[in-house]
Structure 1
Amino acid sequence: MSRLRSAIFLVLLVLWTALLAPTIPYYRWRGEPARTRGFSRFWATGVLAILRFVGVAYRTQGEANRPATPALYVANHQSTFETIAIAVLVPDVAIVLKEELYRIPVFGWFLRHSPMIAIDRAGGGSAMKKMFREGREAAAEGRSLLIFPEGTRQKVDARGEFQRGVVLLYKALGLPVVPMVHNAGLFWLARSFQIRPGTITVSFLPPIPPGLPEAEFMERLHSGIYDERDRLVALERSSDKGARSAGGEA
């Protein structure tokens, strides 16, 4: 059943993306990033609908913690879900991402022309300066930013060090930081299209104010994200175990 569900999801995802691909010349001609971002949200909304069709929904918690003005969202990275859902969860967001993602057909074109903040990971200091400059430009336009400080997708139980880019961006932008935590890796497995049914939880934690000392900021961010992630994963596993036990008793 799991293989069938995953296969159906992949087929529908490819068809949905292929259906929208012919619109690229129109958005290239218009040359308006806001329109491009709006269409990206439309595509992402469709992907989330496909996920619901195959049994994966999502819910959010802590919506009151989200500022009405631009903020720096910092999220854990477990699957492909969060890179797609963010377009719906935080409209007009500017994602700090690796430059290689621009090479993905269709998806990469819309990322480039949204535009996002693409970083050459071998670029050193010049890449950091580019990130700061484009981050300030996005915030000045009223856009929030998103960064994945783990750098790459992690197992749902892994605790790693956060890359320094997140604290450098925090210092450079002077924006409140909203930790965005989820357990998507339990349902859309990392580096695959294997789908498991259930409800992904996305939790927005209280903002961390700008201007904190580096050590205090990193401690609050690191412990906040991983403690909340562990809580969400444990709750889901406990619920799943309880459901299996009930099914066995029945």
Structure 2
Amino acid sequence: MAQMQRKLRSLAFDGLFALWTGSFALGIPFLWLVGRPAGAVRAFTRLWVRGVVFLLRFVVGLTYTERGRAHRQPEAGIIISNHESTWETLVYLVLFPDVAIVAKKELLRIPVLSWYLRHSPMIIIDRETGSAAFKMMLKQGRAALAEGRPLLLFPQGSRMLPGEPIRFRRGIELLYTQLGTPVLPVVVNSGDFWGAAHAFKQPGTITVSYLEPVPPGLPAASFTQTVQTLLETERPKLGTH
């Protein structure tokens, strides 16, 4: 019975999520007419995410908590997080209000949301273009940092199951060395509640853990090993569902 109730609540969330997202199509003409100001687009996007968080809490029973907020320093220009579900892609837009997410182009297939992401703007890359994708990521990353916006990277590239080893895709260490900014490692256990490990969303509390920032200037290989170790060491401390 409990499993059926969880399934029904998850399905109800999916329906309300679609309606809530569709309602934000009404904001696109207004934002277009006023010139698509990036700050206003991001404000609308945060409002949308807060609505999603509300639905998760009161329909699914899924909330979140934060650890280590003292480690969040203004000078940390790059945020690196493990990636287990859609949850962090959305909620990080509220936790880091002006963040520039480095995301794959597949996100642009999502109706309504894709418009907001494109005009926030986020850094959308096409991995198939190889070195050209990295050059674009570096150029747009520098521009975002110059505006005071941190970069958010999911170095695994795609969502992983909880417990899968965290292995960085190529290019992350080059971005770190080229941009020369501190890195804030972040760990989530969202996959224990929402992701490929479950047929439907589960109630509970997702933990977001901010770790001690990694300074700039490390050799590329040392940087990768350091951050991977930090993430892997912290992840078991968050517990499992």
- Provide Cα deviations, 1:58-104, integer angstroms capped at 9, x if missing partner: 00011110112352000100000000001100011000001121121
Structure 2, unpaired ranges of 5+: none
Task: Identify which of 7, 11, 19 aligns with 2:11.
Answer: 7
Per-residue CA deviation, residues 159-199 of structure 1 (Å, 9 max, x unaligned), is 04211221111111111100110000111123977210100
- 2:107 is aligned with 1:80: no
The residue identity in structure 1 corresponding to 2:15 is V
Contact 1:80/1:191 (<8 A) preserved:
no
1:6-155 aligned at under 5 Å gives the runs 6-30=10-34, 31-53=36-58, 54-155=60-161
TM-score for the superposition, normalised by structure 1: 0.91
Q: CA deviation at 1:2?
A: 1.9
Offset of residue 236 of structure 1: 3.4
Q: Secondary structure at the match of 1:60?
A: strand
3-state DSSP of counterpart to 1:12: helix
Cα separation, 1, equivalents of 2:198 and 2:77? 30
What's the counterpart of residue 170 of structure 1? 176
Matches of 2:198 and 2:102 in 1, distance apart?
A: 22
- Bigger shift: residues 59-68 or 191-200: 191-200
What is the aligned residue count? 235
**Whole-Å separation in 1 of the counterparts to 2:197 and 2:107:** 14
In structure 2, the residue corresponding to 1:122 is in which secondary structure? helix
Do the aligned residues in 1 keep the contact of 2:39 with 2:120 (CA within 8 Å)? yes
Q: Is the 8 A contact 1:56 1:198 kept in 2?
A: yes
Q: How far apart in 2 are the matches of 1:78 and 1:172?
A: 27
**Unmatched tracts of structure 1, length 5 or more:** 238-250
- Cα deviations across residues 188-216 of structure 1 (Å, max 9, x unaligned)? 12397721010000000000000101121
Q: For 1:27-85, what per-residue CA distance to the aligned partner results, in whole angstroms no more than 9, with x for missing partners?
A: 12222011101110110011011110120000001111011235200010000000000
Give the partner amino acid of 2:207: T
Q: CA RMSD in A?
A: 1.4
Whether the 8 Å contact between 1:70 and 1:145 is mirrored in structure 2 is no
Q: What is the TM-score with the length of structure 2 in the denominator? A: 0.94
| Paired residues of 2:173 and 2:221 also in contact (CA < 8 A) | no
1:230 aligns with 2:236: yes
Cα gap change, 1:39/1:108 in structure 2, threshold over 3 Å: closer, same or farther? same
